[in-house]
Amino acid sequence: MSTLKINIVLFGIGNVGSVLIEQVLANKKFSLEKQNIELNFPIVTNSTLALFEKDGLSIDWKDDFANSAIPYKLEDIIEYVKLHQLENLIAIDASTSSDFVASYIPLVENGFHIVAANKKANTLDYVFYKDLRKTFKKYDKTFMYETNVGASLPVVQTISDLHLSGEKITKIRGVFSGSLSYIFNRFSEEQISFSEVLIEAENRGYTEPDSREDLSGSDVARKLLILARELDQVFEFSDVQVTSLLLPNLNETHSKSEYAINKLLFDKPFEIAKITQNKNHVLRYVGEFDVEAKKLEVKLVSVPKSTALGQLKGADNLIEIYAKSYGEIPIVIQGAGAGKQVTARGILIDILKITDKIKNKQPVFL
C-alpha cells in the first residue's frame, strides 16, 4: 500500500505551532511505519511572512524561516498549492487572530480541511458560525477544533456525541481555563501573592500572550459558548454573563506596559477574597451553562476543598456534564488544560482524525 501524504499549511508558528512542527518531525518514522502516512509542511507562516518548502520542513526549519520567509497574502498560499498540485490539504490555525478566520471559507473552497486551535471562528456571530458549517458541508471538508476547549481533552467530542445520540444534557459546569486553574490552585493552597503566581503562569506559557485575556473571563466565556452551540443553542458571545477578574484600575484599557508593571495591584483584593471565604474552602473560576434556564455564566466562586473542583491540582481542567440518562452524577472529564505541549498534541490528534477520513475515501487497488 502506498504512503498517504498529507500536506499541512500551518498559520501561526508561535508557542503551539512550533511545538506541533517538532512533534510531527519527531514522530515522522513512527507515522510512516505504524500508520503509513507522511505529514508534510509545505508552507508555514507567521502573521506576515511565509516559508514555502514543497518537500517539507527540516529540523533546521527555524533557520530556514529566518533566512527565506517572504511576505505573503492568502492568494499566494492558494496559488502555490495549485501550482504544485498539492493534495490532501489541511490548514492549521494556531494563531489567536480574529481577522484570520475570514480566510477559512476561501481555504475550504480551495480544497482545505481545517483544524483550529484559535477559538474565534466558533465564537463570532451566529450567522457566520452557521455559514461556515454550510461551507464545510458543501465542499465535503472537515472542521476540527477539539483544542478550543480543554487543550487535548475530549470535551467537544464528548458533548457533541452525547447530543447527536439524543441525550438531554441539562448542565455543563467546570474549570475551563488551565491558566486560571493553575493560578487559583496554587494561590489557594500556598502562601504566595496573586501577582507572583500570575507571572509564573505567564512564564510557563499557560496564559494567552496577554494574560488579561484570561483574567477578563473572555477565554472561559468563549469556551462555554462553543459548548452551548454544540448543543444547537443559539447564543451570541454577549449572552454570556462574565464576572471579570480584572480591576477597574488595571484592565484592558491600560497599555501592556502599564499592565506589566502594576500587577501588584491584584494582591490586596484577592488576598481579601481568600481570607474571608468559609473555612476549608478554595477559590475557583468556573463557567456554567444551565441548559434548561438558558443561562451562561462565568464567575469566581468559593467551593469546599472536599469537592471535585476543590481538589484540582496543577493546571488541570475539570468539566462536569449533567445529563438525564446519568441521573445526578455528572460525567467528569479532567486533565491537563493548558500548555503548548498538550495543545499541540491535541491539534495533532485532530489532524490524524482528518487523515483517517481522507484514507477512507482513497480508492483501493487490489
Catalytic annotation, pick one of 223, 299, 340, 353: 223
Paired residues of 8 in beta bridges: 90
Which has the closest alpha carbon to 303: 334, 333, 271, 280? Answer: 280
Cell of 270: 484577592
Neighbours of 284 (CB within 10 A): 22
Residue 130: active-site member? no
Q: How far apart are the first and last CA of the chain?
A: 10
List, edge to edge, every strand of the sheet that includes 316-323. 241-242, 295-304, 281-290, 169-175, 316-323, 331-336
166 burial level (CB within 10 Å; 0-12, 13-18, 19+): exposed
CA pair distance 145, 118, nearest whole angstrom: 8
Amino acid at 133: R
Question: 176, 333 in Cβ contact below 8 A?
Answer: no
Active site residues: 223
